[in-house]
Structure 1
Amino acid sequence: MLWQPLNLSEVCPAQTHVTACSSWGVMYLSLLVQLFGDSEDRRIQEQLRHHSHDTDRHDEQYDFIVVGAGSAGCVVANRLSANKHWKVLLLEAGMEQPDVTLVPALSTSLLGSNIDWKYSTEPDGKSCLARPGGRCSWPRGKVMGGSSSINSMVYVRGNKLDYDGWAALGNPGWSYKDVLPFFKKSEKNLNFEALNRKYHGVDGEQSVARFPYIDPSTLMMVEGLHEMGLPLLDYNAEQQLGVIQAQTFSQDGVRVSTNNAFIQPIRYKRKNLTVRVNSEAFKILIDEHNKAYGVKYIRNGKIYTAFANKEVILSGGSINTPKLLMLSGIGPKKHLSKLNIHVKQNLAVGENLQDHTSFLGIYMAMSNKTSTLVGREEIVEETKEYKQMKLKHGPMSSNGPVNVGIFLKSEPDLPAPDVQIGMHYSYLKDALAEPEVFDGTKIFPTCFYDSIYTRIQNLTPKSRGKLLLNATNPHGAPLIYANYFGDPTDMTPMIKVAQRILDIENTKAFKSRGVYIVKEHLPACRHFKWGSVEYFTCLLRQYTLTIYHPVGTCKMGPKWDRHAVVDPRLRVYGVSHLRVIDASIMPLIVRGNTNAATMMIAEKGAAFVIEEWLRD
Structure 2
Amino acid sequence: DCRKWHGQHGPMDIAPPLFQQMPEPLLDLKNECNEYDGFMTDSDNPTKQYGCYFVQQFRKPLNKSDPNSESIRASTWSAYLNGISRPNLQVLDSATVLKLVFDENEPTKCIGVAYEYKGQIYTAIARKEVILSAGVFDTPKLLQLSGVGPKEWLQPFDIKIVAENSQVGNNFVDKMASFMAFETYEQLPALPLSFRTFAWLSNSGLKESNRNWTDIQIFLYSVNPDISFDAPIIGYDPTLAYLQPRIPLITFLIYHTQPEASGTVKIQSLSPYDRPQIDHGWQNLSEYDRNNLQYIVNFVRNFTKNMQWGRKYVKQELFPGNRYGGSDILYRQLNLGSGYHPAGTCGLGKCTDNEARVLGIKNVRVADISLFPTQINVNPIGYHPAGTCGLGKCTDNEARVLGIKNVRVADISLFPTQINVNPTYILYSMCEKVADLIIQQHSQDR
- Using the size of structure 2 for normalisation, the TM-score is 0.76
Distance 1:606 1:439, change over 3 A: farther
Cα RMSD after superposing both structures: 2.8
Offset of 1:604 from its aligned partner? 0.9
* Partner in structure 2 of residue 200 of structure 1: 6
Q: Measure the CA separation in 2 of the matches of 1:592 and 1:242.
A: 13
Aligned match of 2:174 in 341, 355, 378? 355
Identity of aligned residues (%): 26
Tell me if 1:531 matches 2:347. Answer: no
* Partner in structure 1 of residue 209 of structure 2: 414
1:225-267, CA deviations, whole angstroms, 9 ceiling, x for partnerless residues? 334444424232222111111111223453212122111131x
Q: Is the 8 A contact 1:314 1:579 kept in 2?
A: yes
Offset of 1:218 from its aligned partner? 4.6
Q: Measure the CA separation in 1 of the matches of 2:237 and 2:441.
A: 47
Which is richer in helix? 1
Q: 1:204-603, aligned counterparts within 5 Å?
A: 204-213=10-19, 216=23, 218-238=26-46, 239-251=48-60, 252=70, 254-266=72-84, 269-287=85-103, 288-289=105-106, 290-347=108-165, 348-360=167-179, 362-368=180-186, 370-372=187-189, 399-400=194-195, 402-411=196-205, 414-415=209-210, 416-426=213-223, 430-432=228-230, 435-436=233-234, 450-471=248-269, 473=271, 475-484=273-282, 486-489=284-287, 490-505=289-304, 506-511=306-311, 514-516=312-314, 518-520=316-318, 522=320, 530-531=321-322, 534-543=324-333, 545-557=380-392, 564-603=393-432
Offset of 1:434 from its aligned partner? 8.0
Tell which deviates more after alignment, 207-216 or 546-555: 207-216
Q: Is the 8 A contact 1:218 1:403 kept in 2?
A: no
- 5+ long unaligned stretches in structure 1: 1-192, 374-394, 442-448, 523-529, 558-563
Distance 1:261 1:434, change over 3 A: closer
1:383-430, CA deviations, whole angstroms, 9 ceiling, x for partnerless residues? xxxxxxxxxxxx77x944x12231101128622111111223446784
Q: Measure the CA separation in 2 of the matches of 1:218 and 1:570.
A: 43
Q: Measure the CA separation in 1 of the matches of 2:147 and 2:75.
A: 32
Q: Measure the CA separation in 2 of the matches of 1:354 and 1:215.
A: 37
Q: Measure the CA separation in 2 of the matches of 1:577 and 1:468.
A: 23
Q: 1:28-177, aligned counterparts within 5 Å?
A: none
Q: Is the 8 A contact 2:142 2:272 kept in 1?
A: no
User: 3-state DSSP class of the match of 1:435?
Assistant: coil
Distance 1:480 1:602, change over 3 A: same
- 5+ long unaligned stretches in structure 2: 61-69, 240-246, 334-378
How many pairs align? 373
After TM superposition, which residue ranges in structure 1, 4 or more long, deviate above 6 angstroms? Answer: 437-441
* Partner in structure 1 of residue 348 of structure 2: none
Distance 1:434 1:209, change over 3 A: closer
Q: Measure the CA separation in 1 of the matches of 2:218 and 2:282.
A: 18
Distance 1:434 1:453, change over 3 A: closer
Tell which deviates more after alignment, 223-232 or 313-322: 223-232
Q: Is the 8 A contact 1:556 1:567 kept in 2?
A: yes
Q: Measure the CA separation in 2 of the matches of 1:422 and 1:215.
A: 17
User: 3-state DSSP class of the match of 1:293?
Assistant: strand
Q: Is the 8 A contact 1:359 1:539 kept in 2?
A: yes
Offset of 1:346 from its aligned partner? 0.6
- Using the size of structure 1 for normalisation, the TM-score is 0.56
Q: Measure the CA separation in 1 of the matches of 2:400 and 2:205.
A: 38
Tell which deviates more after alignment, 535-544 or 286-295: 535-544
Q: Measure the CA separation in 2 of the matches of 1:434 and 1:310.
A: 48
1:146-182, CA deviations, whole angstroms, 9 ceiling, x for partnerless residues? xxxxxxxxxxxxxxxxxxxxxxxxxxxxxxxxxxxxx
Offset of 1:567 from its aligned partner? 0.2
Structure 1 counterpart of 2:88, which letter? N
Offset of 1:321 from its aligned partner? 0.6
Q: Is the 8 A contact 2:401 2:408 kept in 1?
A: yes
Q: Is the 8 A contact 1:231 1:243 kept in 2?
A: yes
Structure 2 counterpart of 1:486, which letter? N
Offset of 1:496 from its aligned partner? 1.0
Q: Is the 8 A contact 1:211 1:253 kept in 2?
A: no
Q: Measure the CA separation in 1 of the matches of 2:400 and 2:327.
A: 41
